[in-house]
Chains A and B, each alone.
Chain A
Amino acid sequence: MENTVLRTADLSASFGDNRVVKDVNLSIPEKTVTTIMGPSGCGKTTLIRCFNRMHELVPDAKVEGEVFLREEDIYAINPMIVRRRIGMVFQRPNPFPTMTIYDNVIAGYKLNGVELSRGESDKIVEESLKKAALWDEVKDHLRRKGTFLSGGQQQRLCIARALAMNPDILLLDEPTSALDPKATGRIEKLMTELKKTVTLILVTHNIGQAGRVSDFTAFLYLGELVEFGPTKQLHTAPRDKRTEDFLTGKFG
Chain B
Amino acid sequence: MLAEELDDVKQKLVESACLVESMVEKSIRGLTRRDEGLLLEVIGQDEPKENDLEMEIDEACIHVIACYQPQARDLRTIVMLSKINNDLERMGDEAVNISEGALFLIKRPEVKPLIDIPKMAEETRRMLKDSLKSFMDEDTQRARGVCQRDDIVDGLRDQILRELITFMASDPTTIERSNHLIRISRSLERIADLSTNICEDVIYMVEGKTIRHGRFEND
Contact = CB atoms under 8 A, between A and B. Distances in A.
Direct A–B contact in the complex, CB atoms closer than 8 angstroms: yes
Contacts of B66: 211, 232, 235-236
Nearest to A185: B1
Contacts of A232: 63, 66-67
B62 interface: yes
B69 interface: yes
A188 B66 CA distance: 17
Contacts of B2: 212
Contacts of A208: 69
Contacts of B68: 211-212
Interface string B49-68: 00000000000001100111
Interface string A227-240: 00001100110000
A185 to B, nearest CB: 9
Nearest to B2: A212
B22 to A, nearest CB: 31
Contacts of A231: 67
A166 interface: no
The secondary structure that dominates the A interface is helix
A211 B67 contact: yes
A192 B1 CA distance: 8
Contacts of B63: 232, 235-236
Contact of B69 (A189, A211, A236): A211
B67 A235 contact: yes
22 contacts: A188-B1, A189-B1, A192-B1, A208-B69, A211-B66, A211-B67, A211-B68, A211-B69, A212-B1, A212-B2, A212-B67, A212-B68, A231-B67, A232-B63, A232-B66, A232-B67, A235-B63, A235-B66, A235-B67, A236-B62, A236-B63, A236-B66
Interface string A170-204: 00000000000000000011001000000000000
A202 to B, nearest CB: 14
B167 to A, nearest CB: 54
B179 to A, nearest CB: 45
Given A211-B69, A235-B63, 19 more contacts: A188-B1, A189-B1, A192-B1, A208-B69, A211-B66, A211-B67, A211-B68, A212-B1, A212-B2, A212-B67, A212-B68, A231-B67, A232-B63, A232-B66, A232-B67, A235-B67, A236-B62, A236-B63, A236-B66
A208 B70 CA distance: 10
A37 to B, nearest CB: 13
B12 to A, nearest CB: 15
A50 B2 CA distance: 33
B50 to A, nearest CB: 23
B92 to A, nearest CB: 25
A188 B1 CA distance: 9
Chain A CB within 10 Å, residue with most, of B62, B66, B69 = B66
Contacts of A189: 1
Task: Return the 3 tightest CB-CB contacts between A and B, nearest first.
Answer: A211-B67, A235-B66, A232-B63
A236 B1 CA distance: 17
Chain A CB within 10 Å, residue with most, of B2, B67, B69 = B67
Contacts of A211: 66-69
Interface string A200-227: 0000000010011000000000000000
A236 B66 CA distance: 6
Interface in A88-114: none
A231 B63 CA distance: 9
A189 B188 CA distance: 47
Nearest to A230: B63
A133 to B, nearest CB: 14
A208 B67 CA distance: 7
Nearest to B59: A236
A48 B84 CA distance: 44
A189 B1 CA distance: 8
A189 B4 CA distance: 12
B68 to A, nearest CB: 6
Interface string A43-72: 000000000000000000000000000000
Interface string B66-78: 1111000000000
